[in-house]
Amino acid sequence: MYKNFVNEYEGFVKKFNLTLKNYVNMSDFPSLYKPIQYILSSEGKRLRPFLFYLSSKVYNVPNDKIFQLALSVEMLHCFSLVHDDIMDEDDLRRGKETIHKKWDLSTAMLVGDAIFALVYKNINELNNTKKVLDAFSKETINLCEGQSLDKIFESKNSISIDDYLNMIELKTGSLLSLSCKLGGILGDITEDEINKLGNFGNFIGKAFQIQDDILEIYSDSLIMGKSLGSDIIFSKKTFLTCLANELNSKKWNLLNNQIYDKDLNNYTLPKLREFFDKHGIKTIAENKIKDFLDQGLSCIDFLPKDKQLFFSNYIKMILERKN
């Protein structure tokens, strides 16, 4: 059963990538549309549009509507990545140079703005646009609020776990929540059920981000397809660092002084792994991921068992990811 699900996911990604690649016409303004196609055609996992596909499948939404709106979901994600890479000064994304690195900062800003406009242009071609637009607008604002908190937290010596979880619910959970809710909106279900789908997405988003925090330390750039260690360099808060500070602030501050301005790959990352392993921080983070995923599944217990299986398989796929 799960193998069939993975095959369905791979088939979706293949078809979706082709649709996305052909979405932009580069005949006009190649200086703008070439970098747009560059980011849109990058080999992403397409987890957000696929989650929207699953939530739409629950309510038998026609495929043509699914793929059109799935484009907007992924483009909104790409818009956020372009701007995120600018703010974090990252050089790699999905195994390729980031837009501002390959072109320049001004081009990257224009590309992000243009992709954002394309998101709403695409939505306006659908029926029942008011609810869809409201959902996109709300979650885009949540995304920006989360990103704002992320930047504010860089200047703080420490933040609480609760502050961190609130930030990632906004920054990461917003698009996954949107992906879930859109299927319910197109399926014309009750507001209560739409919100339950959205809550599922929020829990998945928090689990996903904590998993990213672990991979940022324990993976490598070849597998991740992006620069590692930017969170450390820019003093970004992660679940691991917040937990380390709460459990043993004295030893954590001492370690931070030791790794300051040291070689990232040969000194800093090994020292961090050693600290997190010794104090059980990685294990606590992994258990928190499972807790959030379980809470997410409890949000959709109103669905028939066969429909719940779509989402439990999705969770299993997330747990197996390496990047």
Q: Which of 84, 98, 80 is nearest to 38 (CA)?
A: 98
Compute how many other C-beta atoms are within 10 angstroms of the C-beta atom of residue 189.
Answer: 17
pLDDT in tens, 239-248: 999 999 999 9
Q: What is the pLDDT of residue 81?
A: 95
* Residue 225: per-residue pLDDT: 62
Specify the CATH number for 2-319; select among 1.10.600.10, 3.20.20.210, 3.30.1320.10, 3.30.420.40.
Answer: 1.10.600.10
Q: Which residues, given as ranges, of the chain have pLDDT below 50? A: none
Q: What b/e sequence results for 137-146 when a residue is b if at least 16 CB atoms lie within 10 Å of its CB, and e otherwise?
A: eebbebbeeb
In whole angstroms, give the CA distance from residue 26 to residue 13: 23
pLDDT of residue 79: 96
pLDDT at 119 (0 to 100): 96
pLDDT value at position 170?
Answer: 98
Other beta carbons within 10 angstroms of residue 323's beta carbon come to 15
Cα 113 to Cα 107: distance, rounded to the nearest angstrom:
10
Helix, coil or strand: residue 93: strand
- Tell me the whole-structure pTM to 2 decimals: 0.94
Q: How far is CA 195 from the centre of its chain?
A: 19
pLDDT at 1: 85
